[in-house]
Structure 1
Amino acid sequence: MSLKYAPKGKVALFALLAAIKACNVLFVAYMLKVMLNIASSGKSDYGRLVMFAALTAGGQLFFMASNFIYETTKMNIIKDVNMTLKKANLRYLVDQNTLDIKDGLSFMTNDLKQIETNRITAQLDMIYQSLTFFGSLIFAFYNSWEMTLIFIVATLAPAAVQMITSKIITKKAKIWTEKNAVYTQYVSDTLNGAQSARLYNVRTNVVSRAVNAAQDMETALRNMTLTQAWALEIIYSVAELFCFIIPCTIGGIMMMQGRLAVGSLVMMVDLAVNFITPVVTIFNEFNQVKSTVPMWQRTQRSLSYVQKADNFPVDHFDGLKMEDVAYVTRHSKHEIFSHVNISVKPGEKILLMAPSGWGKTTLLRLMLGIYKPSHGEIEINGEDVTGNWQKAHNYYSYVNQKPFIFDDTLRFNITLGREVDEERLLMVCHEAGLDDLIQDNGLDYRVGENGNNLSGGQIQRVEIARALLSGRPILLADEATSALDPRLSLEIHETLLGNPKVAVVEVAHKISDVEKAMFDQIIVLDKVAKKAAETAD
Structure 2
Amino acid sequence: MVFIVVISSVLLAVCTSLKPIYLQNAIDAVDVGAGGALTMFLCYVASILGILLFETARQLSTGKYRNSRLFSLKRKVMAHIVYMPPRKFREEQGQNYVTTLNNEIEMLVDSYYVTRLELAYSILVLITCVIALLYINGYLAIIIIVSTVCPIVASAVQGKALEKRTNFYTMALEKLNVMIGNLIHGYPIIKVNHIEREYLQTLEQDNEKAAHAEFAKAKTKIRVNMIIGLLSYIGEVVMVGFSIYEISKGRLSVGALVGALQLSEMLVIPTNSISYQISEMRSVTGIRQKIRQLLSVPDSAAALTAAPTIEYMELDNVSFRHEEKVILSHANYRFEAGKKYLILGENGSGKSTLFKLLTGLETEYEGCISVNGTDIRRLWPALYDQIGVVLQDAFIFDDTFLQNVTLYRPALRERAVSAMHSLGMDAFLASHDLDQVFQNTKGNLSGGERQKLALARVLAENKRVIFLDEATANMDKGSSQKILSQLLRTDGLTVISIEHKVSPEILPLYDTILELRDTHLEERA
TM value normalised by structure 2 = 0.88
Q: Deviations over 1:398-420 (max 9, x none)?
A: 10112222222333323323363
Q: Which residue of 1 aligns with 2:437?
A: 446
In the alignment, structure 1 residue 77 sits paired with structure 2 residue 65? yes
Q: Secondary structure at the match of 1:284?
A: helix
2:123 to 112, 125, 130: 130
Matches of 1:290 and 1:479, distance apart in 2: 52
1:515 to 506, 510, 523: 506
Q: CA offset at residue 309 of structure 1?
A: 4.4
Matches of 2:178 and 2:53, distance apart in 1: 47
Q: CA offset at residue 203 of structure 1?
A: 1.1
In the alignment, structure 1 residue 141 sits paired with structure 2 residue 134? yes
Matches of 1:144 and 1:32, distance apart in 2: 15
In the alignment, structure 1 residue 67 sits paired with structure 2 residue 58? no
Matches of 1:71 and 1:386, distance apart in 2: 49
Moved more, 417-426 or 139-148: 417-426
- Name the CA shift for 1:282/1:236 in 2 (closer, same or farther; >3 Å): same
Consecutive unaligned residues of structure 1, counting only runs of 5 or more, are: 1-9, 533-537
Q: Which residue of 1 aligns with 2:192?
A: 199
In the alignment, structure 1 residue 480 sits paired with structure 2 residue 471? yes
Matches of 1:433 and 1:254, distance apart in 2: 95
Q: CA offset at residue 161 of structure 1?
A: 0.7
Q: CA offset at residue 297 of structure 1?
A: 1.2
Q: Is the 8 A contact 1:119 1:288 kept in 2?
A: yes
Q: Is the 8 A contact 1:406 1:450 kept in 2?
A: no
1:319 to 312, 315, 324: 312
In the alignment, structure 1 residue 344 sits paired with structure 2 residue 335? yes
Spell out the pairing of 1:365-380 with structure 2 (5 A cutoff). 365-372=356-363, 374-380=365-371
Matches of 2:519 and 2:301, distance apart in 1: 38
1:299 to 288, 291, 295: 291
Q: CA offset at residue 72 of structure 1?
A: 1.8
Matches of 1:384 and 1:48, distance apart in 2: 85
Q: Is the 8 A contact 1:405 1:449 kept in 2?
A: no
Q: CA offset at residue 315 of structure 1?
A: 4.2
Q: Which residue of 2 aligns with 1:108?
A: 101
Q: CA offset at residue 269 of structure 1?
A: 2.1
Q: Secondary structure at the match of 2:162?
A: helix
2:411 alignment partner AA:
V
- Name the CA shift for 1:385/1:169 in 2 (closer, same or farther; >3 Å): same
1:224 alignment partner AA:
K
Q: Is the 8 A contact 1:482 1:510 kept in 2?
A: no
Matches of 1:375 and 1:74, distance apart in 2: 53
Q: Is the 8 A contact 1:372 1:387 kept in 2?
A: no
Matches of 1:86 and 1:399, distance apart in 2: 30
Aligned length: 517
Q: Deviations over 1:114-141 (max 9, x none)?
A: 1132223312321221221112122222
Matches of 1:142 and 1:452, distance apart in 2: 76
Matches of 1:64 and 1:384, distance apart in 2: 65
Q: CA offset at residue 431 of structure 1?
A: 4.3
Consecutive unaligned residues of structure 2, counting only runs of 5 or more, are: none
Matches of 1:273 and 1:119, distance apart in 2: 26
Q: Which residue of 1 aligns with 2:405?
A: 414
Moved more, 224-233 or 197-206: 197-206
Moved more, 264-273 or 417-426: 417-426
Q: Which residue of 1 aligns with 2:156?
A: 163
1:271 alignment partner AA:
L
Q: CA offset at residue 434 of structure 1?
A: 4.9
Q: Is the 8 A contact 1:348 1:504 kept in 2?
A: yes
Q: Is the 8 A contact 2:247 2:257 kept in 1?
A: yes
Q: CA offset at residue 293 of structure 1?
A: 1.2
Q: Is the 8 A contact 1:358 1:526 kept in 2?
A: yes
Matches of 1:235 and 1:89, distance apart in 2: 36
1:282 to 274, 277, 282: 274
Q: Secondary structure at the match of 2:319?
A: strand
Q: Which residue of 2 aligns with 1:400?
A: 391
Q: Is the 8 A contact 1:194 1:203 kept in 2?
A: no
Matches of 1:188 and 1:450, distance apart in 2: 21
1:334 alignment partner AA:
K
Q: Which residue of 2 aligns with 1:4?
A: none
Q: CA offset at residue 439 of structure 1?
A: 6.1
1:228 alignment partner AA:
K
TM value normalised by structure 1 = 0.87
Moved more, 374-383 or 167-176: 374-383
Q: Secondary structure at the match of 1:475?
A: strand
2:143 to 131, 139, 150: 150
- Name the CA shift for 1:450/1:247 in 2 (closer, same or farther; >3 Å): farther
Q: Secondary structure at the match of 1:276?
A: helix
Q: Which residue of 1 aligns with 2:17?
A: 26
Matches of 1:375 and 1:341, distance apart in 2: 12
In the alignment, structure 1 residue 89 sits paired with structure 2 residue 77? yes
Q: Which residue of 2 aligns with 1:247?
A: 239
Q: Which residue of 2 aligns with 1:7?
A: none
Q: Secondary structure at the match of 1:347?
A: coil
Q: CA offset at residue 35 of structure 1?
A: 4.3
2:181 to 188, 191, 196: 188
Q: Secondary structure at the match of 1:297?
A: helix
